[in-house]
A and B are shown apart, each in its own frame.
Chain A
Amino acid sequence: MNLAKKLAQQQLVKTRNEARMASQPKTVEARATPDKSQSLPATSLRSSLEKLRNRTRRLQRDQAPRAGNESGELPGALADLMQGNDGPSFLHQVSHSPLPLDGPQQVMHLARLIRLLCAQQWTGNPQSIVFLDTETTGLSGGAGTVAFLIGVGRWSGDGFVVEQYLMRDYHEERAMLVALQERLAHADGLVTFNGKAFDLPLLQSRFVLARQRWPLDGVVHLDLLHPARRIWQRRLGDCSLANLESHILGIGRQNDIPGRLIPQLYFRYVRTQDPEAIAGILRHNRWDIETLARLAVRMGEIFSGQSSDDLVPLDLYSAGKYAGALGEQELAVRWSEAALLGGLPDNVELEAKKAKASRLKRERRYTEAADLWQGLSESSEGFLEDVHEELAIYYEHRKRDLTEALRLSESALAQLRDQAAAQKWKNRRARVARKLARCCLAEPGRLFDRQS
């Protein structure tokens, strides 16, 4: 038998297998009473398989990716470029963005953000920061995943532009990467969304495969995913770019294609060269770049201390914690205070107050801290061991009210669930009791006073 015939048969086995696996429940009842179909000639099985196959075919048709139906946007020039034999050996499209992204203030905030989050010593030209996002043939990574479309947003003399590099077919990849290499050679900084884990390793792998030098070595890279999570995950949960775009930037996209369809649409495009299939992806990528730039500016503004007023208290609280971790104490305090004033959900409020009390303690404002702990302890339904301990320390060492410290130890031991932690409290109780006894010997009246 020749190879072609064998191959065809092979595929048949595979598809049948997959179809069956997908649509047949795993339980086999035929153990007890043999399934009729197994004892019948294969014809009935064939027909049921045929039905199955039709069903999977229909399923595939329903799930087939569709390009955005808004075909009017495809400029004639683009269509020409994509079909033309001459011109560049890949598609290079530049579109001016309608966004007012290039105010001097915004650029400054962005520079500040980079210094804060990435490199304190950064002295690059904020105008030479590029925003980068790729569209790929899959999410698995590895040498077989290709970045077929690379979008670069940057400032040009006349506003913000998005440049897109598209390989219209696989053999155009090298030329595309060389052009990108040139474009990125002058970048002073790079902004991405999840670029650290995804876009950059993937691109780097493509450069290795094309045996080209990687142009971004040593370039400062601001990946917005993690900062965004630090600020908004508590409230939004999902911190995908799309979700941030709609909830934080308040933008709704019209007729966008779902990201998961992109690989299939691209495969269709390389096979058919139908520009319709690619137009939706180009638009999607451009929007992503614009959103990326907007989000970066927005975060720049937040960390400049401006425009943080319209953050909801929960975000403010998260931002405050983040600022604290970054060493921006002033912002941290301001935002945390504002968050507490604005009102937080119970569990977060507890956490916020504890954090505030710790800060007060660090600043040696012991009485204020103790008031907060006292308040927490009284309003809490459950036993807060850490708060209790802070209070005990306060009474023992700061206020030197040993009777209260002793009472706190007793009450902790009475309420403690975890007996493993009890030893610590027993030690404290013994120590406080010893001190107290010594005090009484020295100043007998004191104990007496207290008891009355």
Chain B
Amino acid sequence: MQASLSPSIPRIVEELKLSRGLQSCITHVEHFPAQEARYAAFPGGLDPLVIEVFKKRGIGQLYTHQAEAIQQTLAGRNVVVVTPTASGKTLCYNIPVMNAVFASPDARALYLFPTKALAQDQMEELYQLIQLSGRDIKTFTYDGDTPQDSRRAIRAQGHVVVSNPDMLHAGILPHHTKWVQLFENLKYVVIDELHTYRGVFGSHLTNLLRRLKRICAFYGSKPQFVCCSATIANPKELATKLLEDDVELVDDNGAPRGEKYFVFYNPPVVNRQLGIRRSYVNETRSVALSFLKKGLQTLVFANSRLVTEILVTYLKDALEKNVLSRDLVRGYRGGYLPLERREVEKGLREGRILGVVATNALELGVDIGSLEVCVMAGYSGTIASTWQRAGRAGRRSGVSAAVLVASSAPLDQFIVEHPEYFFGQSPEHGLVNPDNLEILLNHVKCALFELPFSDGENFGTVETREMMKFLEENGFVHAAGGQWHWTSEAYPADAVSLRSVSSDNFVVLDVTAEPKIVSKVDFPSALTTVHEKAIYIHEGQQYFVEKLDYKERRAHVKRVDLDYFTDAISYTQVRILDTFDRQLLRSSTKQWGEIHLTTQVVGFKKIKFYTLENVGAGDLELPEQEMHTTSYWLTLPRSLMESLLYLPSIRLNGVRGLAEAMRQMAALFLMCDPRDLQVTIEENLVGETPGRAVSPAQKGRDLPRQIFEPNIFIYDNYPSGIGLSEPLFDLHDRVLQETARLIRSCPCQEGCPSCVGPQGETGDLGKRVALDILKAIL
């Protein structure tokens, strides 16, 4: 029924173009024609029962990429499948796995998903297939939520164990002796959403797989890897690096694709003098509504939880005005309880839910079927994830649309005003550096705990002898009988977390009547979303936070119905704790050492719905959040700054542009993800006169920042550092040279996201000032 409505999509796009009269908001429409499906037969060598099971599910033939992936897998090769969302990737590994278990009931497979929610989803699908087969194939999820008393059965009997890297790291590998059946017979390891393993997370995964392969070798198995990835620039390279083995790339998508429109939408200017545009949130609302009103299933992506909830509220209100049920639109984000999420997913698949507003929680492969329209409230920050979000809309037949509504942030403005940049650029690269010393050493310790190292044994591609000697000096290992043994009471996996975010979270408790859990909020965002007097929004329902019980990790909230929401104001400060090395250069100083970052939520604003007026504010006394990490920093001396013949604010813009470009270059050289590094610029306090200290009265909001002698800090975005700062210190010269080349050769006029950042962030002269600074210090 809905497919028949699809032809209205081009009409709606046309209407959007015309809706603002002469001043169109649509800056670009990219049209993708429909693509026919290409089919192939089931590869030879498959158990007839497997083919029968899929026939029962209505799958009588395969798409070409599926057939190829299965063929390669059956031929014993590692495979990485890179095709768009909803092209049937899971089938590429479920078929070989079922085939193996049918052939031998001892065969085992391990599925790794980056999040628990995804694992849950896969279970459903696999479970249905197994039921159709009538065979006794046992699949289990094994994660932090698995009850203790069922773990033993899973370890012994699970044919397919569905888990995540964190659990493999801390729960399975260190206890491999309890998993003998799995490791003796492990035939396939499936790694889905491979593109999420970039940068530090990916470096962890490589080391984790080194450990996994060691354990398998001990028990005499050598599993094959089947990986799936969303589109990134270098999937084969990334997979090869993660697996440290040859991988076959399968990326020729045979799945059909309906016609698609990709629309860039820039909200209209409301104040010509000041260049103020209409709020992108309000605009997203009306864009989404124009589709929803026509009965088109629409998914709205927002970049924050707050915006997600505001949009849920707006859309529910709007539906009500049109005499429709509020329940047709739902929210979906981290923090929703699992049952609620399942319900939304199911509602979407079954068409009971017309619209969903989500955060990136829906970006990964959660099965919601495919929708007709995707509206993005603001640019997500990367090309790859924008494509992935857009890919959520798009049926195998019929027309679909993706609309990017730009916010007034410079990056968004740049993207919508330069469509050729977005459509011409390849998505981001996935880089990893598994031999980062800090990461490597931690995993070597874990590996030692799991099995002694033979003298001269390699860990992946790394020689270990020198590391063993080092660990021996520090009392971690002891050599005996040609092997290195772990000699510490510690459980080393506990000392390494694969992610930068802690799993600690706050429970939001509705105490309007009988206390009831509304949702969970992860630690970092708790202080900004459920501080006292905050308006916490869940599924469009507002709650007033009465009490934040920091110790018990609980927020007590009551239902309210107000016309405003709150937005927290936080403040970050960097303090240098120690300098490990410093070097005076021609006219600047580079250093690396430890820094202390303090973030504090100091107050909040009350903002009225729709008009977004500021209708009040409040102060807050909340505990500081601290992070202790390592950083590289470059000091640009005052004399140099003053020699630049620009206004101080323009100089500072140049410094900002330089810092941003350096960060991108640094990520490239360190082979990490740009998000693994953070940049901040602060006044260099060395040698200052005491009178200029920041006074207590000045602290907090709206502190005027006058910077005379800037320090550019590029720090590891991980508690206690992850070993990026020292190499950056060593690579300083090359990074600066390449940064200069990058900025100079960038074809943009006044800055773009590929060099110093978009013009709106660094001003018209950002690019020039950055180059002047580089000239002075190189």
Contacts and interface: CB of A to CB of B under 8 A. Distances in A.
Interface stretch (A25-33, A221-229, A345-353, A402-410): A25-33
Interface stretch (B273-281, B295-303, B445-453, B513-521): B445-453
B491 A39 contact: no
A267 interface: yes
Interface stretch (A3-11, A245-253, A331-339): A3-11
A271 interface: yes
B584 interface: no
Interface stretch (B30-38, B348-356, B524-532, B573-581): B573-581
Nearest to A26: B626
Interface string B469-483: 110001100101111
A143 B480 contact: no
A64 interface: no
Contacts of B175: 141-143, 205
Contacts of B481: 169-171
A42 B594 CA distance: 12
Given A28-B596, A28-B598, A271-B478, A170 B483 contact: yes
Interface string A391-424: 0000000000000000000000000000000000
A278 B738 CA distance: 60
A368 B721 CA distance: 73
B485 A140 contact: no
A173 B374 CA distance: 62
Nearest to B723: A10
Contact of A28 (B466, B483, B575, B695): B575
B174 A39 contact: no
B278 to A, nearest CB: 39
Contacts of B512: none
Interface residues of B, number: 62
B686 interface: yes
A274 interface: no
B720 A17 contact: yes
Interface residues on A, range: 35 or more
B168 to A, nearest CB: 14
A39 B682 CA distance: 13
B483 A143 contact: no
Interface string A153-172: 00000000000000001110
A179 interface: no
A439 interface: no
A208 B726 contact: no
Contacts of A32: 693-696, 699
A142 B577 contact: no
B489 interface: yes
Interface string A125-144: 00000000000011111111
Interface stretch (B43-51, B80-88, B176-184): B176-184
Interface in A262-291: 263-264, 267, 270-271
B699 A31 contact: yes
Given A45-B578, A140-B490, A10 B467 contact: no
A3 B594 contact: no
Given A10-B438, A143-B450, A144-B174, A3 B487 contact: no
Given A7-B466, A144-B486, A170 B580 contact: no
Contacts of B552: none
Instruction: Classify the secondary structure of B's interface with A.
Output: mixed
A10 B441 contact: yes
A371 B140 CA distance: 57
A41 B686 CA distance: 8
Contact of B174 (A7, A49, A142): A142
Nearest to A263: B489
Given A3-B467, A16-B578, A171-B483, A39 B688 contact: yes
Contact of A31 (B450, B573, B730): B573
Contacts of B438: 10
A49 B578 contact: yes
B687 interface: yes
Nearest to A33: B693
Nearest to B482: A171
A270 B480 contact: yes
Contacts of A3: 466-467
B177 A209 contact: yes
A20 B180 CA distance: 42
A7 B489 contact: no
Interface in B570-614: 573, 575-580, 582, 594, 596, 598
Contacts of A10: 437-438, 441, 723
A204 B478 contact: no
Contact of A204 (B177, B469, B487): B177
A162 to B, nearest CB: 26
Contacts of B450: 143-144
A4 B730 contact: no
B314 to A, nearest CB: 39
A42 B449 contact: no
B449 A143 contact: yes
B628 interface: yes
A20 B721 CA distance: 15
Given A42-B579, A143-B450, A169-B481, A17 B490 contact: no
Contacts of B696: 32-33
A153 to B, nearest CB: 26
A16 B582 CA distance: 18
A45 B488 CA distance: 31
Contacts of A33: 693-694, 696
A204 B474 CA distance: 30
Contact of A7 (B176, B467, B578): B467
B177 A205 contact: yes
B452 A170 contact: yes
Nearest to A141: B175
Contacts of A70: none
A245 B596 CA distance: 50
A33 B720 CA distance: 24
Nearest to B592: A13
Contacts of B470: 4, 7-8, 11
A7 B580 CA distance: 14
A39 B686 contact: yes
Contacts of A120: none
Given A17-B628, A34-B685, A143-B175, A138 B598 contact: no
Nearest to B491: A140
A127 B702 CA distance: 82
Interface string A39-57: 1011001000100000000
The 3 closest A-B pairs by CB, nearest first: A171-B481, A144-B449, A138-B489
Interface of A: 1, 3-4, 6-13, 16-17, 20-21, 26, 28, 30-35, 38-39, 41-42, 45, 49, 137-144, 146, 169-171, 204-205, 208-209, 263-264, 267, 270-271
14 contacts: A7-B441, A9-B726, A10-B437, A16-B578, A17-B628, A33-B693, A34-B694, A38-B575, A38-B576, A39-B685, A138-B491, A171-B482, A205-B177, A267-B475
Given A3-B466, A271-B478, 18 more contacts: A6-B437, A11-B470, A11-B474, A26-B626, A31-B573, A32-B693, A32-B696, A33-B694, A42-B578, A42-B579, A143-B174, A143-B175, A205-B178, A208-B177, A209-B451, A263-B489, A267-B478, A270-B480
